[in-house]
């Protein structure tokens, strides 16, 4: 399967972001004719205040970003893994950070709502409180394209291996993770975590990120890390974006997944340790 990753620099301006996404997606289709296009987290809106994010949340289905991508998928006969957008929940104060997947006919095949919410103070002192505005999801999504079973995750989910263990138990070959990793955490943790997930779960790991500056609360400038990449099931980075807005295209091969799993049959060796006793000894 041929896959294109779109690396964006989204802002608190939906029209600007959709124009950027459509231009890059069109370039990818014209140059590479991919089977699947992947967008980053927050492709339709990034930054601003907590209230601006809530106000920017849109209908799913029926919202502007949703309909634009639905039409693009149908027009170009290409699957679209729509990174994540802010989904409005009728009757609720908080919104959801939601991946929507469209098939090559423009039909929605599923949604994944981000489970692990980014509530931290970064090394530079900037505070991130995603749970102030976002309600976490409560289920997982797997879909299939060209014989490859694909599991969904979003950004901060990357740090929680139990999610990926559950996806692999359900038989995925590929994990796609749209993200907006901060510059400070990304430079130390992004690649090593992506490669680790590919190795420990013997899957292709597709990580599509935001890159560059955007305005945060109070007008402060925040930076996302970018470095969108694809790791094969051996943990090798087979394609990676430069430090810029743009796209790249690569191939995913089910035979490569099977070859790695045959070489090191981890699934046959994987144990359920849930009920195993833990002995804690103090000197």
Q: What are 83's two structure tokens?
A: 């990174």
**pLDDT value of residue 148:** 97
**pLDDT value of residue 282:** 87
Residues listed for the chain? 283
Specify whether the backbone of 77 is left (phi greater than 0), alpha (psi in -120 to 50) or beta: left
β pairing state of 174-179 and 96-102: unpaired
* Assigned domain for 275 exists: no
* Assigned domain for 278 exists: no
* Assigned domain for 233 exists: yes
Q: How far is C-alpha 237 from the chain's CA centre?
A: 17
Please check whether residue 173 is in contact with residue 144, taking contact to mean a CB–CB distance below 8 angstroms: no
* Assigned domain for 189 exists: yes
- Please indicate whether residue 114 is annotated as part of the active site: yes
pLDDT less than 70: residues of the chain: none
What domain range is 225 assigned to? 2-269
What does pTM read for this prediction?
Answer: 0.96
* Assigned domain for 274 exists: no
* Assigned domain for 276 exists: no
Spell 133-165 as b/e; 16+ CB within 10 A means b.
bbbebeebbbbebeebbbbbbbbbbbeeeebbe
Provide CB contacts within 8 A for 200, sequence distance 6+.
161, 164, 266
* Assigned domain for 199 exists: yes
Q: What are 3's two structure tokens?
A: 């896959």
* Among 53, 70, 87, 114, the one annotated catalytic: 114
**pLDDT value of residue 90:** 87
The number of folded domains in the chain is 1
Instruction: Look at residue 258 and give its three-state secondary structure.
Output: helix
Q: Is the dihedral of CA 82, 157, 186, 249 positive or negative?
A: negative
CATH of the domain at 156: 3.60.110.10
Summarize pLDDT for 157-186 with one digit per residue, the tens.
999 999 999 999 999 999 999 999 999 999
Q: Say how far apart CA 171 and CA 150 lie, in whole Å.
A: 9
Q: Say how far apart CA 24 and CA 30 lie, in whole Å.
A: 10
Beta-ladder partners of 113: 98
Provide CB contacts within 8 A for 62, sequence distance 6+.
none
**pLDDT value of residue 24:** 98
* Assigned domain for 109 exists: yes
* Among 70, 152, 155, 194, the one annotated catalytic: 155
**pLDDT value of residue 165:** 96
């Amino acid at each position: 399967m041929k896959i294109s990753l779109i690396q964006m620099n989204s802002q608190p301006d939906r029209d600007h972001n959709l124009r950027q996404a459509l231009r890059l997606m069109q370039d990818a289709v014209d140059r590479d004719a991919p089977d699947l296009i992947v967008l980053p987290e927050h492709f339709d809106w990034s930054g601003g205040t907590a209230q601006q994010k809530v106000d920017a949340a849109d209908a799913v289905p029926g919202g502007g970003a949703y309909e634009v991508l639905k039409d693009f998928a149908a027009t170009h006969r290409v699957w679209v893994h729509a990174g994540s957008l802010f989904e409005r929940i009728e009757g609720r104060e908080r919104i959801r950070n939601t991946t929507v997947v469209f098939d090559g006919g423009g039909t929605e095949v599923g949604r994944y709502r981000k489970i692990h919410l980014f509530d931290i103070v970064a090394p530079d002192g900037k505070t991130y409180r995603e749970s102030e505005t976002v309600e976490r999801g409560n289920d997982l999504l797997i879909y299939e394209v060209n014989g490859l079973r694909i599991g969904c995750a979003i950004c901060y989910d990357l740090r929680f291996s139990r999610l990926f263990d559950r996806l692999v138990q359900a038989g995925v070959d590929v994990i796609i993770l749209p993200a907006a990793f901060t510059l400070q955490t990304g430079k130390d943790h992004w690649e090593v975590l992506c490669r680790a997930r590919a190795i420990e779960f013997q899957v292709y790991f597709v990580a599509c990120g935001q890159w560059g500056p955007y305005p945060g609360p109070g007008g402060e400038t925040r930076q996302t890390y970018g470095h969108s990449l694809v790791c094969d099931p051996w943990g090798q980075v087979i394609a990676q974006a430069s430090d810029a807005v743009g796209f790249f295209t690569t191939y995913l091969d089910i035979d490569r997944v099977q070859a790695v799993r045959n070489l090191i049959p981890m699934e046959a060796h994987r144990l359920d340790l849930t009920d195993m006793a833990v002995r804690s000894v103090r000197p």
